[in-house]
Homo-oligomer: A and B are copies of this chain.
Amino acid sequence: MESIVIMAGGRGERFWPKSRAGKPKQFTDLTGKGSMLFLTYQRAAKMVDPDRIFVVTGQDYRDITRQNLPDLPEQNIIVEPEGRNTAPCIGLAAVILEHRFPGVTMVVVPADHLIKEEDLFVNTLKTAAELAGKTGGLVTLGIRPTRPETGYGYLRTGEEVPLGQGKAAYKVSSFVEKPDLQKAEQFLSEGGYLWNAGIFIWQVPVILNAFKNHLPDIYEGLLKIGASVGTPENMQVLADVYPSLQNISVDFGIMEKVDQVYTVPGEFSWDDVGSWRALERVFGTDINGNVLLGNVQALDSTNCIFDTCGRMVAAIGLEDLVVVETEDITFICPKDKTDRVRELIASLRSQKMEKYL
């Protein structure tokens, strides 16, 4: 049986003020069906037993993780002493898994993605796990693009790897950074490109070996941490070593450098909910192109996203705006400027307005 690692340490600043420092995006209930982390856990639990599910998160989110996932064994919450990038996060999970389930196949999923067809998702992961076992390579899920999305990275597919029953995986010939619209349209019309979903499958010894080859400094730190797992010194070693590990993504640090990388195309609908526009896809729009969540009165307004938490938002003559209301903050911003929320958050921080972060 595989083991699934849910990465739940993100700060979710892009979704401020719905996502807050004390309760980032992965802990929010976007769909009304439960927090994104809870939904991710539920999907994982369709594939493996709860003791095989691990959540990596930050010190500040240990309690909220337990509240979100009462069925998760407490020792399966892996706490990062401080937030790093995906490479250290995955390495940390790998050495802990190697201690608990030596040689296990590890599935890594972000905690803040939406996936509709859960059985299809689980089956795709199983296929990927088999492929990882058979090839001894690194496997990533690739999502068949349905629009010329400029917000995702892409995988360029190479040599086909038959999976039987007419299905196929591919070797990844290259990783492509977020394209501009023209390129994204080209990818869509050419074919041979998949969205990089950031969902990985590999055997733990394989990924640790990849760390050794391509991120040796991190690997050395991971060895120290790994040696302390299960001992009283673990917390101290983690606190000493982890913050010094290089801040680098697993894509950039490993995936792009390894030869044996495969992708299994996923046919389920997937959304990384990476920007407010994702709400248009998740909830659909009315005849005027508006997303209307909560108590909204919109007169003569088009292509806006309204997300309110109880009080009324009354709008007249608005276009292409995002309006998000939480208990204590109303956020208003044109759709094409929402990236600048980081500047706003930085400004609040410099004004010592922590309660609004």
Contact = CB atoms under 8 A, between A and B. Distances in A.
Contacts of A287: none
Contacts of A341: 316
Among A317, A327, A331, A340, which residue has the most Cβ atoms of chain B within 10 A? A317
Given A297-B348, A348-B297, A314 B331 contact: yes
A315 B323 CA distance: 9
Interface in A307-335: 308, 311-318, 321, 323, 325, 327-334
A340 B300 contact: yes
A258 interface: no
A325 B330 contact: yes
A343 interface: yes
B299 A340 contact: yes
A347 B312 contact: no
Interface residues of A, number: 33
A311 B310 CA distance: 14
A356 interface: yes
A58 interface: no
Given A323-B332, A330-B330, A332-B332, A340 B313 contact: no
A299 B344 CA distance: 7
A21 to B, nearest CB: 14
Contacts of A315: 331-333
A337 interface: yes
Contacts of A330: 308, 311-314, 323, 325, 330
B344 A317 contact: no
A181 to B, nearest CB: 21
B329 A312 contact: yes
Contact of A316 (B300, B327, B337, B356): B337
A110 interface: no
Contacts of A318: 332-334
A97 to B, nearest CB: 41
Contacts of A340: 299-300, 316-317
Q: Counting chain B CB atoms within 10 Å of each CB, which of A312, A315, A331, A348 scores highest?
A: A312
Nearest to A327: B311
A145 to B, nearest CB: 29
Contacts of A297: 344, 347-348
A17 interface: yes
A312 to B, nearest CB: 5
A19 to B, nearest CB: 13
Contacts of A299: 340, 343-344, 347
Which A-B residue pairs are the 3 nearest by beta carbons?
A316-B333, A317-B337, A312-B329
Given A299-B347, A313-B329, A318-B333, 9 more contacts: A297-B348, A299-B340, A311-B330, A312-B356, A315-B331, A316-B333, A316-B337, A317-B340, A318-B334
6 contacts: A17-B314, A299-B347, A312-B329, A316-B332, A317-B340, A321-B332
